Amino acid sequence: MAERITGHTELIGLMAYPIRHSSSPAMHNEAFANLGLDYAYIAFEVDNDSLEDAVKGLRALKMRGSNVSMPNKTVVHKYLDKLSPAAEMCKAVNTIVNDNGVLTGHITDGIGYMAALKDNHIDVIGKKMTIVGAGGAATAIQVQAALDGVKEISIFNARDKFWDNAVETVKKINENTECKAALYDLADLDKLKEEMEDSYLFTNATGVGMKPLEGQTYIPDKSFFRPDLIVIDIVYFPRETALLKMAKEAGCKTMNGLGMMLFQGSAAFELWTGQPMPIEYMKEILDIKYE
Ligand code: NAD
Protein backbone atom coordinates (compact mmCIF):
# COMPACT_ATOMS: atom_id res chain seq x y z
CA MET A 1 0.00 0.00 0.00
CA ALA A 2 1.26 3.52 -0.79
CA GLU A 3 2.64 5.13 2.37
CA ARG A 4 3.51 8.66 1.25
CA ILE A 5 0.17 10.11 2.48
CA THR A 6 -1.14 8.74 5.78
CA GLY A 7 -3.75 9.69 8.37
CA HIS A 8 -1.07 11.82 10.06
CA THR A 9 0.06 13.80 7.01
CA GLU A 10 -0.16 17.56 7.54
CA LEU A 11 -1.46 19.74 4.74
CA ILE A 12 0.09 22.94 3.43
CA GLY A 13 -1.64 24.93 0.70
CA LEU A 14 -0.94 27.54 -1.94
CA MET A 15 -3.77 30.02 -2.48
CA ALA A 16 -3.60 31.99 -5.72
CA TYR A 17 -5.21 32.43 -9.10
CA PRO A 18 -4.00 31.51 -11.68
CA ILE A 19 -1.74 28.93 -10.06
CA ARG A 20 -1.61 25.72 -12.07
CA HIS A 21 1.75 26.78 -13.63
CA SER A 22 3.48 27.12 -10.22
CA SER A 23 6.66 25.19 -9.47
CA SER A 24 6.16 25.55 -5.69
CA PRO A 25 4.22 22.25 -5.19
CA ALA A 26 6.96 20.25 -6.92
CA MET A 27 9.68 22.11 -4.99
CA HIS A 28 8.14 21.67 -1.52
CA ASN A 29 6.98 18.06 -2.04
CA GLU A 30 10.45 17.13 -3.33
CA ALA A 31 11.99 18.67 -0.19
CA PHE A 32 9.47 16.92 2.15
CA ALA A 33 10.24 13.58 0.48
CA ASN A 34 14.00 14.17 0.63
CA LEU A 35 13.88 14.88 4.38
CA GLY A 36 11.20 12.24 5.11
CA LEU A 37 8.81 14.87 6.52
CA ASP A 38 5.11 13.95 6.72
CA TYR A 39 3.61 16.96 4.93
CA ALA A 40 1.87 17.43 1.57
CA TYR A 41 1.76 20.72 -0.39
CA ILE A 42 -1.18 21.32 -2.73
CA ALA A 43 -2.10 24.30 -4.94
CA PHE A 44 -5.65 25.68 -4.66
CA GLU A 45 -7.26 28.09 -7.10
CA VAL A 46 -8.33 30.87 -4.72
CA ASP A 47 -9.04 34.45 -5.77
CA ASN A 48 -10.03 37.52 -3.71
CA ASP A 49 -13.71 36.43 -3.71
CA SER A 50 -13.04 33.02 -2.16
CA LEU A 51 -10.07 34.03 0.02
CA GLU A 52 -11.92 34.62 3.30
CA ASP A 53 -13.66 31.22 3.05
CA ALA A 54 -10.36 29.57 2.11
CA VAL A 55 -8.64 30.97 5.24
CA LYS A 56 -11.61 29.80 7.36
CA GLY A 57 -11.14 26.38 5.74
CA LEU A 58 -7.45 26.40 6.63
CA ARG A 59 -8.42 26.99 10.27
CA ALA A 60 -11.23 24.41 10.26
CA LEU A 61 -9.05 21.73 8.65
CA LYS A 62 -6.16 22.55 11.03
CA MET A 63 -3.82 22.88 8.06
CA ARG A 64 -0.22 23.73 9.07
CA GLY A 65 -0.23 26.74 6.78
CA SER A 66 -0.20 28.03 3.25
CA ASN A 67 1.65 30.08 0.70
CA VAL A 68 -0.30 32.98 -0.76
CA SER A 69 0.36 34.50 -4.15
CA MET A 70 -1.31 36.96 -6.52
CA PRO A 71 -3.97 38.31 -6.30
CA ASN A 72 -4.20 37.55 -2.56
CA LYS A 73 -0.85 38.72 -1.19
CA THR A 74 -1.95 42.24 -0.29
CA VAL A 75 -5.44 41.23 0.89
CA VAL A 76 -5.00 38.16 3.09
CA HIS A 77 -3.63 40.05 6.13
CA LYS A 78 -7.24 41.08 6.92
CA TYR A 79 -8.10 37.48 7.82
CA LEU A 80 -5.03 36.68 9.94
CA ASP A 81 -4.31 37.11 13.68
CA LYS A 82 -0.73 38.40 13.57
CA LEU A 83 1.87 39.67 11.10
CA SER A 84 5.68 39.45 11.14
CA PRO A 85 7.45 42.86 11.29
CA ALA A 86 8.32 42.67 7.56
CA ALA A 87 4.76 41.63 6.59
CA GLU A 88 3.43 44.50 8.71
CA MET A 89 5.70 46.99 6.91
CA CYS A 90 4.94 45.59 3.43
CA LYS A 91 1.22 45.00 4.17
CA ALA A 92 1.79 41.82 2.16
CA VAL A 93 1.88 38.13 3.08
CA ASN A 94 3.16 35.15 1.10
CA THR A 95 3.24 32.60 3.93
CA ILE A 96 0.66 31.72 6.61
CA VAL A 97 1.66 29.64 9.64
CA ASN A 98 -1.06 28.04 11.77
CA ASP A 99 0.10 27.58 15.37
CA ASN A 100 -2.80 25.82 17.11
CA GLY A 101 -5.38 28.12 15.55
CA VAL A 102 -3.34 31.34 15.66
CA LEU A 103 -2.60 32.41 12.08
CA THR A 104 0.54 34.49 11.50
CA GLY A 105 1.35 36.12 8.16
CA HIS A 106 4.95 36.35 6.96
CA ILE A 107 6.56 37.69 3.79
CA THR A 108 9.58 35.63 2.74
CA ASP A 109 10.39 37.19 -0.68
CA GLY A 110 12.79 39.69 0.89
CA ILE A 111 14.28 37.04 3.19
CA GLY A 112 14.80 34.86 0.09
CA TYR A 113 16.54 37.66 -1.80
CA MET A 114 18.90 38.41 1.11
CA ALA A 115 19.61 34.69 1.67
CA ALA A 116 20.41 34.17 -2.03
CA LEU A 117 22.92 37.04 -1.89
CA LYS A 118 24.56 35.49 1.17
CA ASP A 119 24.65 32.05 -0.44
CA ASN A 120 26.49 33.63 -3.40
CA HIS A 121 28.95 35.43 -1.05
CA ILE A 122 27.50 38.88 -1.80
CA ASP A 123 27.55 41.06 1.33
CA VAL A 124 25.47 44.24 0.94
CA ILE A 125 25.10 44.92 4.69
CA GLY A 126 26.32 48.44 5.55
CA LYS A 127 26.53 49.33 1.83
CA LYS A 128 24.41 51.13 -0.78
CA MET A 129 22.13 49.48 -3.32
CA THR A 130 20.08 50.81 -6.22
CA ILE A 131 16.91 48.92 -7.12
CA VAL A 132 14.23 49.38 -9.75
CA GLY A 133 10.71 48.32 -8.78
CA ALA A 134 7.79 49.22 -6.54
CA GLY A 135 5.56 46.14 -6.78
CA GLY A 136 5.14 43.28 -4.31
CA ALA A 137 8.55 41.68 -4.78
CA ALA A 138 10.45 44.98 -4.88
CA THR A 139 8.76 46.21 -1.68
CA ALA A 140 9.56 43.00 0.19
CA ILE A 141 13.22 43.22 -0.89
CA GLN A 142 13.54 46.89 0.04
CA VAL A 143 11.98 46.41 3.49
CA GLN A 144 14.03 43.29 4.29
CA ALA A 145 17.26 44.90 3.06
CA ALA A 146 16.59 47.91 5.30
CA LEU A 147 15.71 45.68 8.30
CA ASP A 148 18.86 43.59 7.75
CA GLY A 149 21.20 46.61 7.76
CA VAL A 150 21.71 47.86 4.20
CA LYS A 151 22.93 51.45 4.63
CA GLU A 152 21.29 53.22 1.71
CA ILE A 153 18.66 52.25 -0.89
CA SER A 154 17.98 54.29 -4.02
CA ILE A 155 14.66 53.19 -5.50
CA PHE A 156 13.61 53.96 -9.07
CA ASN A 157 10.22 53.29 -10.65
CA ALA A 158 8.09 54.46 -13.53
CA ARG A 159 5.36 56.93 -12.52
CA ASP A 160 2.73 54.21 -12.90
CA LYS A 161 0.15 52.75 -10.50
CA PHE A 162 2.98 51.42 -8.27
CA TRP A 163 4.52 54.87 -7.65
CA ASP A 164 2.45 55.69 -4.55
CA ASN A 165 3.42 52.37 -3.05
CA ALA A 166 7.10 53.30 -3.43
CA VAL A 167 6.44 56.66 -1.74
CA GLU A 168 4.95 54.73 1.22
CA THR A 169 7.84 52.23 1.32
CA VAL A 170 10.44 55.01 1.43
CA LYS A 171 8.55 56.70 4.26
CA LYS A 172 8.27 53.48 6.28
CA ILE A 173 11.94 52.58 5.81
CA ASN A 174 13.12 56.04 6.82
CA GLU A 175 10.80 56.13 9.86
CA ASN A 176 11.38 52.58 11.12
CA THR A 177 14.95 51.59 10.25
CA GLU A 178 18.49 53.01 10.24
CA CYS A 179 18.57 52.73 6.44
CA LYS A 180 18.32 55.87 4.27
CA ALA A 181 15.89 55.36 1.36
CA ALA A 182 15.09 57.69 -1.55
CA LEU A 183 12.77 57.45 -4.55
CA TYR A 184 13.45 58.65 -8.11
CA ASP A 185 11.60 58.57 -11.41
CA LEU A 186 12.93 55.85 -13.73
CA ALA A 187 12.55 58.31 -16.61
CA ASP A 188 15.52 60.26 -15.16
CA LEU A 189 18.26 58.06 -16.58
CA ASP A 190 21.05 60.54 -15.66
CA LYS A 191 20.02 60.17 -12.02
CA LEU A 192 19.85 56.38 -12.36
CA LYS A 193 23.41 56.34 -13.72
CA GLU A 194 24.61 58.62 -10.91
CA GLU A 195 23.03 56.44 -8.19
CA MET A 196 24.39 53.24 -9.76
CA GLU A 197 27.90 54.72 -9.85
CA ASP A 198 28.42 54.62 -6.08
CA SER A 199 26.27 51.54 -5.40
CA TYR A 200 27.68 48.17 -4.41
CA LEU A 201 24.86 46.39 -6.19
CA PHE A 202 22.04 47.03 -8.64
CA THR A 203 18.80 45.02 -8.77
CA ASN A 204 15.96 44.78 -11.24
CA ALA A 205 12.78 43.91 -9.33
CA THR A 206 10.31 44.63 -12.13
CA GLY A 207 8.84 42.34 -14.78
CA VAL A 208 10.98 44.02 -17.48
CA GLY A 209 13.01 41.21 -19.06
CA MET A 210 10.37 38.48 -18.82
CA LYS A 211 7.34 37.88 -21.04
CA PRO A 212 5.70 40.04 -22.40
CA LEU A 213 8.75 42.32 -21.93
CA GLU A 214 11.35 39.61 -22.68
CA GLY A 215 14.48 40.94 -24.41
CA GLN A 216 13.91 44.45 -23.00
CA THR A 217 15.74 46.56 -20.42
CA TYR A 218 15.45 50.20 -19.38
CA ILE A 219 19.28 50.48 -19.16
CA PRO A 220 20.29 52.20 -22.42
CA ASP A 221 23.92 51.05 -22.69
CA LYS A 222 26.93 49.44 -20.99
CA SER A 223 28.26 52.76 -19.69
CA PHE A 224 25.86 52.32 -16.72
CA PHE A 225 27.97 49.40 -15.48
CA ARG A 226 31.47 49.10 -14.05
CA PRO A 227 33.17 45.74 -13.48
CA ASP A 228 32.89 45.86 -9.68
CA LEU A 229 29.12 46.54 -9.71
CA ILE A 230 27.08 43.43 -8.83
CA VAL A 231 23.93 43.12 -10.95
CA ILE A 232 20.91 41.05 -9.86
CA ASP A 233 17.73 40.37 -11.81
CA ILE A 234 14.94 38.74 -9.78
CA VAL A 235 13.41 37.48 -13.03
CA TYR A 236 14.38 33.83 -13.56
CA PHE A 237 12.59 33.01 -16.79
CA PRO A 238 14.58 33.52 -18.97
CA ARG A 239 17.58 32.72 -16.79
CA GLU A 240 19.61 35.40 -18.54
CA THR A 241 17.63 38.59 -19.17
CA ALA A 242 18.77 41.39 -21.51
CA LEU A 243 19.92 43.28 -18.39
CA LEU A 244 22.11 40.41 -17.15
CA LYS A 245 23.55 39.83 -20.62
CA MET A 246 24.61 43.47 -20.94
CA ALA A 247 25.99 43.57 -17.36
CA LYS A 248 27.97 40.39 -17.93
CA GLU A 249 29.44 41.83 -21.13
CA ALA A 250 30.51 44.88 -19.10
CA GLY A 251 32.39 42.55 -16.70
CA CYS A 252 29.91 42.59 -13.78
CA LYS A 253 29.18 39.66 -11.46
CA THR A 254 25.52 38.78 -12.12
CA MET A 255 22.78 36.64 -10.56
CA ASN A 256 19.24 35.77 -11.68
CA GLY A 257 16.11 35.24 -9.53
CA LEU A 258 16.28 31.44 -9.15
CA GLY A 259 18.22 31.64 -5.88
CA MET A 260 15.67 34.10 -4.46
CA MET A 261 12.86 31.75 -5.54
CA LEU A 262 14.51 28.81 -3.76
CA PHE A 263 15.34 30.70 -0.57
CA GLN A 264 11.90 32.36 -0.23
CA GLY A 265 10.51 28.82 -0.43
CA SER A 266 13.05 27.55 2.07
CA ALA A 267 12.18 30.32 4.54
CA ALA A 268 8.48 29.36 4.35
CA PHE A 269 9.37 25.65 4.59
CA GLU A 270 11.35 26.34 7.76
CA LEU A 271 8.47 28.32 9.30
CA TRP A 272 6.16 25.32 8.80
CA THR A 273 8.49 22.41 9.56
CA GLY A 274 11.18 23.91 11.80
CA GLN A 275 13.91 22.86 9.38
CA PRO A 276 15.41 24.42 6.27
CA MET A 277 15.05 22.85 2.85
CA PRO A 278 17.93 20.59 1.81
CA ILE A 279 19.43 23.54 -0.08
CA GLU A 280 22.31 21.85 -1.94
CA TYR A 281 20.01 19.02 -3.08
CA MET A 282 17.36 21.53 -4.22
CA LYS A 283 19.99 23.59 -6.07
CA GLU A 284 20.90 20.46 -8.02
CA ILE A 285 17.25 19.64 -8.78
CA LEU A 286 16.55 23.23 -9.90
CA ASP A 287 19.92 23.46 -11.71
CA ILE A 288 20.93 26.59 -9.80
CA LYS A 289 24.56 27.52 -10.45
CA TYR A 290 26.14 30.85 -9.61
CA GLU A 291 28.35 32.53 -12.24
P1 NAD B 1 4.10 43.59 -9.50
O2 NAD B 1 3.04 43.49 -10.54
O3 NAD B 1 3.70 43.74 -8.06
O4 NAD B 1 5.10 44.84 -9.86
C5 NAD B 1 5.47 45.13 -11.20
C6 NAD B 1 6.66 46.09 -11.22
O7 NAD B 1 7.14 46.16 -12.58
C8 NAD B 1 6.32 47.54 -10.83
O9 NAD B 1 7.44 48.11 -10.17
C10 NAD B 1 6.10 48.22 -12.19
O11 NAD B 1 6.31 49.61 -12.13
C12 NAD B 1 7.17 47.53 -13.00
N13 NAD B 1 6.93 47.57 -14.45
C14 NAD B 1 5.98 46.89 -15.13
N15 NAD B 1 6.08 47.17 -16.46
C16 NAD B 1 7.13 48.04 -16.58
C17 NAD B 1 7.75 48.69 -17.68
N18 NAD B 1 7.31 48.51 -18.94
N19 NAD B 1 8.81 49.51 -17.45
C20 NAD B 1 9.28 49.71 -16.18
N21 NAD B 1 8.73 49.11 -15.10
C22 NAD B 1 7.67 48.28 -15.30
O23 NAD B 1 5.01 42.31 -9.70
P24 NAD B 1 5.93 41.56 -8.63
O25 NAD B 1 5.14 40.48 -7.98
O26 NAD B 1 6.62 42.56 -7.78
O27 NAD B 1 6.98 40.84 -9.61
C28 NAD B 1 7.94 41.59 -10.36
C29 NAD B 1 8.88 40.62 -11.06
O30 NAD B 1 9.60 39.88 -10.07
C31 NAD B 1 8.19 39.57 -11.93
O32 NAD B 1 8.99 39.41 -13.09
C33 NAD B 1 8.24 38.31 -11.11
O34 NAD B 1 8.32 37.14 -11.90
C35 NAD B 1 9.52 38.49 -10.33
N36 NAD B 1 9.51 37.80 -9.02
C37 NAD B 1 10.54 36.98 -8.75
C38 NAD B 1 10.56 36.33 -7.53
C39 NAD B 1 11.69 35.39 -7.21
O40 NAD B 1 11.58 34.64 -6.23
N41 NAD B 1 12.77 35.42 -7.95
C42 NAD B 1 9.54 36.53 -6.56
C43 NAD B 1 8.50 37.42 -6.88
C44 NAD B 1 8.49 38.06 -8.13
Tell me the per-residue pLDDT of 268-277, one tens digit each, with 9 for 90 and over: 999 999 999 9
Percent of the chain at pLDDT > 90 equals 92
pTM: 0.94
Q: pLDDT tens digits for 234-255?
A: 999 899 999 999 999 999 999 9
Q: Is 283 a catalytic residue?
A: no
Ligand 1 center–CA 175 separation, angstroms: 25
DSSP string of 138-165, one letter each residue: HHHHHHHHHHHT-SEEEEEE-SSTTHHH
User: Which has more pLDDT, 21 or 121?
Assistant: 121
Nearest to 211 by CA among 242, 244, 172: 242
Calpha distance 264→232 (Å, rounded): 16
Query: Whole-number mean pLDDT of the chain?
Result: 96
- Give the 3-state secondary structure of residue 285: helix
Single out the catalytic residue among 56, 73, 211, 283: 73
User: Which ligand 1 atom lies nearest to the CA of residue 216?
Assistant: 18
Average pLDDT estimate for 155-167: 97
User: Which ligand 1 atom lies nearest to the CA of residue 207?
Assistant: 32
Q: Is the CB of 261 under 6 A from ligand 1?
A: yes
Angle value at C-alpha 28, between 280 and 95, nearest 5 degrees:
110
Furthest-apart CA atoms within the chain: distance in Å = 66
- Give the 3-state secondary structure of residue 190: helix
Checking if the pLDDT of 200 tops 90, the result is: yes
Checking if the pLDDT of 151 tops 80, the result is: yes
Q: What is the pLDDT of residue 136?
A: 87
Percent of the chain at pLDDT > 70 equals 99
* 106 membership: H or E segment, kind and range: strand 102-106
Ligand 1 center–CA 135 separation, angstroms: 6
Instruction: State which of 234, 256, 261 you would mutate to test the pocket of ligand 1, scoring each by most atoms of that ligand within 8 A of its C-beta.
Output: 234
Checking if the pLDDT of 3 tops 80, the result is: no
Which strands, in side-by-side order, build the sheet including 180-185?
A: 180-185, 152-157, 128-132, 201-204, 230-233, 253-255
